Each structure stands twice: as structure tokens, then as C-alpha cells.
Amino acid sequence: MIKSLLEYQNVDTELRDIETSLKQSEERKKASSAKSFLTGANESVAKLDQRAEDLVGKFNASVKLLSQLEEQAKEYEGIDEMDENQLSYVKKKAQALNEEISNLASAVDSLSKEIESVLKEFAQLKSDIKKAKAQYSEYGPKYNELKASKEDEMNKIKARLKKLEAGIDAEILEKYKQRRNDRIFPVLNEAKEMSKHAYCRCGTELSLTDYGNLKNGNIVECDSCHRLLYLSKT
């Protein structure tokens, strides 16, 4: 069975090489990055929209309050004409009001600048979305065309793999496919035997039970990296 699984893996390597070349192709990278950006763009727009709405609300409320305070300040314009008993108290009130007006005016200015910054972000995001759509429109079809060009070759390899499956234990084959899906490749590896001990390629020492199973010609699984292991018969 080890020989059959090794043969299966050799053929599977051909399929994986094609899959890897497709995955690493410029067409896929460009299409994938554009699609990924566009997928998150709606959320970014929604967040900016909410932020802008909050800022505008605060800005309008602050401007309204500032207007009210400025109206109140007009009441103190003739304080110099008041008698001394009133003057000290009124001056303090006027000073406190002017400070409040000054602070609020600064806050309004900051809100105005922040709103301007959000508008710039909106403009940049709109530009980036337009570019991403153009990129996906260009590279999406190119990647599909590239995949289609490899489809016949891949189907032939899959047909060969299907024939080889008949000579492999179903449980071992299922483990192989699971490991391959987990991006462990090569799945089946030769264990290293040293001084009556066996080691996985990841460096993990196998148990005595696993070592005995290997010596009996069985396939075992590394507890650490989950690769499938065998021992060559010398």
C-alpha cells in the first residue's frame, strides 16, 4: 500500500504544481486583491458615513450653542455703565461667558477640520473603489481564462488519481486528503530511523508503538505535524 500511496502522491504533485502556479499567478493576485478590497469597501463606506453623520450632528449643535452664547454676551456690552456694586459680579459672568464662547469656537473649528478630513477620506475611498473595480474587471476574466487553459490537463490528472485510489486503504486515503486540504505537502514522508528509534521530518521522535508499526510496514501519523510516515524496507 505504501508503494501505491507514493505513486498516488507523485501524480498528486503534478496536480498541486498546477494549482500552485494558478494561485501564485499575477492574474489571480490582482483579481484577488481587488475583490478583497471591494468586499471590505462597503463596511469602510458605512463607517465613514456614520462618522460624518456624528460629526455633522456635533458641529450643528455646537454652532447653535455658540450662537446662543454670543447673543447672551451682547447683554454685557454696557457693563461699564453699571454701578460698582453690580460691576464686579457682572464682569465675572461676562468673562466666564467669553471663555466658554472661546472654547466652543475652538471646538467648532476642530469639528470643521475633522469633517474636512472625513470628506477627503471619502474622496480617496471613492477613487480606490473605482481603481479596484477596474482592476477586477481586467484581471478577473484573465484569471478565469488561465484556469480554463489548465482545466483539461487537471482533469486528466484527477482521472489518473481516481484510478490509483482503488489500491489504497480508504481510511489512509481519507487521512491523506485531509492533510492535503490542511496544506501539508508532501503528505507521505519517509521516517528517519536511528539507533532503534524513528523520527518524523519535523524532528519529533515517534513512540515505540509507532516505531513498531513502521517496522511492520504500516503507515503512522506524526502526533506533532500530522504528516503520514513510513519506513523504507532495506
pLDDT at 65: 79
AA identity, residue 102: S
pLDDT at 216: 92
Q: Which domain holds residue 223?
A: 175-230
pLDDT at 76: 61
Name the domain boundary from 167, 188, 220: 167
Q: Which of 143, 142, 188, 195 is nearest to 168 (CA)?
A: 188
Greatest Cα-to-Cα distance within the chain, rounded to the nearest angstrom: 116
Domain co-membership, 82 together with 159: yes
**For the domain that residue 18 is a member of, what is the CATH number?**
1.10.287.1490
Domain co-membership, 137 together with 205: no
Domain co-membership, 147 together with 220: no
Backbone φ and ψ for 25, nearest 5 degrees, come out as: -65, 150
Domain co-membership, 57 together with 123: yes
Q: Which residues of the chain have pLDDT under 70?
A: 73, 75-91, 234
H-assigned helices in 74-182:
84-164, 170-181
Domain co-membership, 160 together with 188: no
Number of domains in the chain: 2
d(Cα 223, Cα 191) in Å, to the nearest integer?
13
CB 200 within 8 A of CB 225: yes
Q: Which three cell numbers stand for residue 158?
A: 484527477
pLDDT at 96: 79
Domain co-membership, 129 together with 183: no
Domain co-membership, 109 together with 213: no
pLDDT at 89: 62
Domain co-membership, 199 together with 152: no
Domain co-membership, 86 together with 195: no
Pairing of strands 192-194, 188-190: unpaired
Q: Which of 165, 181, 196 is nearest to 226 (CA)?
A: 181
CB 231 within 8 A of CB 205: no
pLDDT at 1: 78
Domain co-membership, 53 together with 159: yes
Domain co-membership, 155 together with 219: no
Domain co-membership, 105 together with 208: no
pLDDT at 77: 63
Residue 221: enclosing H or E segment and its boundaries?
strand 220-221
Question: What is the model's pTM?
Answer: 0.70
